């Protein structure tokens, strides 16, 4: 790599070549030897949709910064990448692409189509991740649909089954009629919408006035098993123990009193249906009520729904309301807001059906999960509360069976005769009971078995990720378990975080990670969640093409864990500009440091450092301290803003400008000063590149190849994190330097407002102050102020400038002189032009007029131009630096 021919502009298209160099040279590889401490990141396995979105960018950038930072700090970092393959979206995509229904082809063939699609999608996403510069160790990739992974998922099932933590039971479950599968509570999302509250008359058994109930779900009338009122509701005192008739269906149901009824809602009387919602389930259990299954798996009304049999739920609802209206049962309708549970994948309203399913006994593990979560460090802390609130609200076990195809099979067979559950031997895993036959004999003597056709919830795959990346269940896995850190989005706390803690605790007794860093979501530049329908989606490729991955990374890193982040083009552009500014500074510096060697001479050089060298080095160490501690605490925005501020303003705008005069000189007297400047420039550039390395990995390597002198080092990412040197923190030097920068800035502003080129010479500047301490400080800075601002003569003096205002030009006001003095006017003009202006001014000041012949001239007849002159009589400009007690007297 050549030190010459550095391109004029930074070319972000070179990012790709660095990605190739890193991959080819295994820069990010986890070694796993005993020479360095480990740092394990439990990374999320994304769903292979085929494209990375901005949310992924934010999520993975945090991990990548953490990984790169810890590598440079000396850790052997394990940054693996997994893929959570199974699930409904892939099945749906396969059905769409091949124009089939999953039942049109054999199960195996359908699975294969899903696998092929997933493999293609993984390939695309992997390449996108590499384009963003993410530094995963790809030799540690895991894919949940492989035999190797499914074996582990099934093994974890068998272990928990043996521990009594997994059981099969008939329970009400959340059901998505569109996906035609049970789903877990954690997968139910709630959304607000408006519906009608219908008031229906339920006649009493004797045909007299019964009770009026209010319901939002009249379509469930056929599954009504009781009416419930509050025990203290006086309106219903006399109804205790009586029965009422369900309209349309004529069935008699009991009136029950229960405290859970809200007397304020509707009429205070509610119908219990099996099942309208979660409360219905607890009432049915509490009062041992019948269960009427009026809805089937597809959301169609069953035989139990009588005249509505075969209708979809929504149609049944419309018809029921029509019938109730026609029969005079519907008394009134009023609009209400309701909170509807819906499937998190397809947003279809869920139903509660009674099904035989497999469950994980969550309730038994709640204390363990809470204990483990309490001992972890959560960033931000309030995300822990989210998890704890969720565990506190848990009253149903985790339903883990799904009625789908593309997932890990449940490793269970049933005896065809007595129904007993039989499990495979662990050495036969993975198995697919839907395809494989069970070899063995039941205790009842039967040798025929039926394989389970249900499959596992995909969270059963992904919730063992910290174990899988550690090599579980094989020997030695506990060297890499638990993980140091789990990084994930806040949208999957009640699923992925909760399930992982639960399962790893149940399987090993150990909490799966020590720290959890939670990222927010990304919004579009219109402040709304990015979505195709809003048209506010911006893809990472859109940005990388024009601005490069590092500019995108600068945008994403300027954020705080837990907070949602808007995507802003202006932030990307600011990052892009920053990198170019830094590149230009580096090109300049490179000319001056390319032949410079620090080795062996740094101690001597340190003794010759000039005030502004000490100033920038002290500031550099401050920034190092702040960036290091911010990254340690995952405060990415703090780290990136401090480093940018330092490079852009302190280093590029101030320091580099102030050392140019020292670099360009050939004077032997200034040789030490020149070396000190070169040393400082080199130190600052090497350190800042390292501090930026986790954030803009491509850019820093592109620069580093030109400044690096060690040919064995291929990439800055293989070097160590810069040491914070408290010795170089120098409060006094910072103070002096700040004063210098302040004064130089003021003179620079003077040049620009007077339209002088920045490199123009200034004849002389006198700096006045009435403060002794400041006087001493400025004395130290004389060379730098002179050199930087090209001032021929600079004096520092105690006191105030001795200046006066003099009139340098007097011009006749012809518009007045002409009409008033007519013929005499030329005489007056001649006098005014031939007399020294200050003399005219003094006379006018003393007498108020001048007589020229018979003409009386007053200040009204002339205009004057004044100038400020110093004690030498030369024209000067006065600049007051208010907050510094300094006055500048500038002689141009």
**Closest approach of Zn ion to the CB of residue 447, in Å:** 9
Least distance (Å) from Zn ion to the CB of residue 422?
8
Give the pair of three-digit tokens for residue 667: 């004077």
Of 76 and 91, nearer to Zn ion (C-beta) is 91
| Shortest separation between residue 457's beta carbon and Zn ion, angstroms | 13
CA distance 398 to 495: 10
Identify the DSSP state of 510: S
Give me the phi and psi of 82, to 5 degrees please.
-115, 170
**Shortest reach from residue 433's CB to Zn ion, in Å:** 16
**Residue 160 or 492 with smaller CB distance to Zn ion:** 492
Burial of 650 (0-12, 13-18, 19+ CB in 10 A): buried
Q: Is the Cβ of residue 421 or residue 798 nearer to Zn ion in the bound state?
A: 421
Least distance (Å) between residue 188 CB and Zn ion: 10
**C-beta closer to Zn ion: residue 231 or 440:** 440
- Give whichever of 418 and 671 is closer to Zn ion, judged by the CB atom: 418
Given the complex with Zn ion, which of 88 and 733 has the nearer CB atom?
88
The residue (of 64 and 187) whose beta carbon lies closer to Zn ion is 187
CB of 414 to Zn ion, least distance (A): 8
Q: 866, 847, 867: which is closest to 857 by C-alpha?
A: 847
Instruction: Work out the burial of residue 521: count CB atoms within 10 Å of its CB; fewer than 13 is exposed, 13-18 middle, 19 or more buried.
Output: middle
Binding site for Zn ion (CB under 5 A): 176, 178-179, 343, 346, 348, 415, 417-418, 420, 442, 444, 446
Q: How far is the CB of 88 from Zn ion (least distance, A)?
A: 7
In the complex with Zn ion, the residue whose CB is nearer, 66 or 179, is 179
Interatomic CA distance for residues 309 and 440, integer angstroms: 44
In the complex, the smallest distance separating the C-beta of residue 449 from Zn ion, rounded to whole angstroms, is 9
What is the DSSP annotation of 755-802? Answer: T--TT--EEEEEEEES-HHHHHHHHHTHHHHHHHHTEEEEEEEES---
For the CB of residue 342, give the shortest distance to Zn ion in the complex, in Å.
Answer: 8
For residues 610 and 677, give the distance between their C-alpha atoms in angstroms, rounded to a whole number: 8
Q: Is the Cβ–Cβ distance between 818 and 845 less than 8 Å? A: no
* Pairing of the two strands 513-519 and 377-379: parallel
- What is the nearest approach in angstroms of Zn ion to the Cβ of residue 147? 28
Q: Are the beta carbons of 544 and 132 closer than 8 angstroms? A: yes
Q: Pick the closer one to Zn ion by CB: 174 or 320.
A: 174
Q: The tokens 């949940």 sit on which residue?
A: 144
**For residue 435, what are the CA distances in angstroms to 35, 106, 431, 450?**
48, 11, 8, 10
Six token digits for residue 336 = 């209400």
Nearer to Zn ion, 314 or 830 (CB): 314
Residues with Cβ within 8 Å of 868's Cβ and at least 6 positions away in sequence, in order, are: 803, 804, 805, 875, 876, 877, 878
**Residue 87 structure tokens:** 């699930």
| Other Cβ atoms closer than 10 A to 266 | 19
Three-state helix/strand/coil letters over 335-346: EEEEEEEEECCC
Q: How far is the CB of 426 from Zn ion (least distance, A)?
A: 22
By beta-carbon proximity to Zn ion, the closer residue of 303 and 417 is 417
Answer whether 504's CB lies under 8 Å from 466's CB. Answer: yes
Backbone angles phi, psi at 481, to 5 degrees: -135, 135
Which is closer to Zn ion, CB of 155 or CB of 343?
A: 343
CB of 214 to Zn ion, least distance (A): 29
């Amino acid at each position: 790599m050549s030190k010459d021919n550095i391109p004029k502009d930074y070319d972000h298209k070179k990012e790709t070549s660095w990605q190739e160099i890193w991959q080819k040279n295994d820069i990010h590889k986890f070694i796993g030897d005993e020479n360095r401490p480990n740092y394990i990141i439990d990374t999320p396995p994304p769903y292979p949709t085929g494209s990375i979105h901005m949310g992924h960018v934010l999520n993975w950038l945090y991990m990548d910064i953490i990984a790169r930072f810890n590598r440079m700090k000396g850790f052997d970092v394990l940054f693996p990448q997994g893929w959570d393959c199974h699930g409904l979206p892939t099945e749906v995509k396969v059905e769409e692409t091949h124009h089939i229904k999953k039942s049109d082809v054999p199960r195996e063939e359908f699975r294969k189509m899903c696998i092929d699609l997933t493999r293609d999608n993984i390939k695309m996403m992997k390449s996108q991740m590499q384009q963003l510069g993410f530094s995963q160790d790809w030799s540690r990739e895991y894919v949940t649909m492989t035999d190797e992974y499914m074996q582990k998922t099934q093994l974890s099932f068998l272990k928990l089954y043996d521990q009594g933590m997994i059981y099969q039971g008939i329970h009400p479950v959340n059901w998505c009629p569109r996906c035609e599968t049970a789903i877990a509570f954690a997968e139910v999302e709630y959304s607000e919408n408006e519906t009608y509250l219908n008031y229906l008359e339920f006649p009493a058994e004797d045909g007299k006035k019964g009770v009026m109930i209010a319901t939002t779900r009249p379509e469930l009338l056929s599954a009504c098993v009781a009416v419930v009122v509050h025990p203290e509701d006086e309106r219903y005192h006399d109804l205790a123990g009586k029965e009422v008739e369900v309209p349309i269906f004529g069935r008699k149901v009991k009136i029950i009193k229960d405290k859970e009824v809200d007397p304020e809602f509707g009429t205070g009387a509610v119908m219990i249906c099996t099942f309208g919602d979660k409360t219905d389930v607890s009432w049915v259990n509490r009062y041992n009520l019948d269960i009427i299954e009026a809805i089937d798996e597809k959301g169609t009304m069953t035989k139990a729904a009588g005249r509505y049999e075969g209708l979809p739920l929504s149609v049944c609802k419309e018809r029921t309301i029509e019938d109730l209206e026609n029969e005079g049962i519907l008394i009134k309708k009023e609009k209400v807001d309701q909170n509807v549970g819906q499937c998190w994948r397809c947003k279809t309203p869920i139903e509660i059906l009674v099904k035989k399913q497999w469950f994980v006994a969550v309730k038994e593990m709640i204390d363990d999960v809470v204990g483990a979560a309490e001992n972890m460090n959560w960033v931000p802390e309030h995300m822990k509360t989210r998890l704890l609130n969720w565990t506190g609200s848990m009253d149903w076990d985790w339903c883990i069976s799904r009625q789908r195809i593309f997932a890990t099979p449940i490793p269970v067979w049933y005896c065809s005769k007595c129904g007993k559950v039989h499990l495979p031997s662990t050495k036969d895993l993975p198995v697919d009971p839907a395809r494989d036959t069970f070899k063995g004999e039941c205790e009842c003597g039967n040798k025929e078995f039926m394989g389970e056709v249900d499959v596992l919830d995909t969270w059963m795959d992904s919730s063992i990720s910290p174990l899988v990346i550690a090599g579980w269940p094989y020997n030695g896995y506990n060297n890499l378990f638990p993980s140091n850190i789990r990084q994930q989005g806040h949208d999957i706390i009640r699923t992925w975080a909760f399930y992982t803690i639960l399962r790893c605790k149940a399987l090993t007794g150990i909490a799966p990670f020590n720290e959890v860093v939670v990222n927010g979501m990304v919004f579009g530049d219109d402040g709304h969640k990015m979505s195709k329908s809003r048209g506010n989606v911006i893809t990472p490729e859109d940005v990388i093409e024009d601005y490069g991955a590092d500019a995108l990374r600068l945008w994403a890193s300027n954020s705080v864990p837990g907070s949602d982040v808007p995507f802003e083009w202006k932030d990307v552009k600011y990052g892009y500009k920053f990198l170019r500014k830094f590149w230009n500074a580096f090109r300049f510096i490179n000319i001056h440091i390319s032949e410079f060697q620090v080795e062996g001479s740094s101690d001597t050089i340190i003794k010759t450092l000039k005030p502004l060298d000490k100033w920038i080095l002290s500031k550099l160490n401050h920034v190092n301290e702040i960036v290091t501690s911010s990254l340690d605490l995952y405060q990415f925005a703090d780290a990136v803003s401090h480093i940018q501020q330092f490079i852009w303003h302190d280093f590029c705008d101030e320091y580099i400008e102030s050392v140019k005069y020292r670099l360009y000189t050939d004077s032997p007297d200034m040789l030490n000063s020149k070396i000190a400047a070169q040393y400082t420039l080199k130190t600052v550039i090497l350190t800042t590149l390292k501090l930026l390395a986790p954030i803009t990995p491509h850019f820093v390597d592109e620069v580093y190849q030109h400044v690096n002198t060690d040919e064995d080092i291929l990439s800055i990412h293989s070097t160590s994190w810069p040491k914070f040197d408290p010795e170089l923190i120098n409060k006094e030097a910072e103070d002096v330097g700040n004063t210098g920068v302040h004064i130089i800035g003021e003179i620079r502003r003077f040049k620009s407002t007077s339209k002088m080129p920045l490199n123009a010479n200034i004849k002389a500047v006198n700096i006045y102050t009435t403060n002794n301490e400041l006087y001493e400080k400025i004395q130290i800075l004389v060379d730098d102020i002179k050199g930087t601002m090209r001032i021929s003569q600079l004096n520092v003096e105690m006191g105030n400038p001795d200046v006066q205002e003099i009139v340098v030009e007097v011009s006749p006001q012809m518009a007045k002189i002409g009409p008033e003095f007519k013929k005499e006017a030329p005489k007056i003009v001649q006098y005014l032009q031939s007399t020294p202006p200050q003399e005219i001014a003094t006379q006018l000041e003393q007498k108020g007029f001048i007589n020229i012949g018979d003409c009386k001239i007053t200040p009204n007849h002339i205009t004057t131009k004044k100038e400020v002159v110093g004690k030498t009589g030369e024209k000067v400009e006065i600049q007051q630096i208010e907050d510094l007690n300094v006055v500048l007297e500038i002689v141009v």
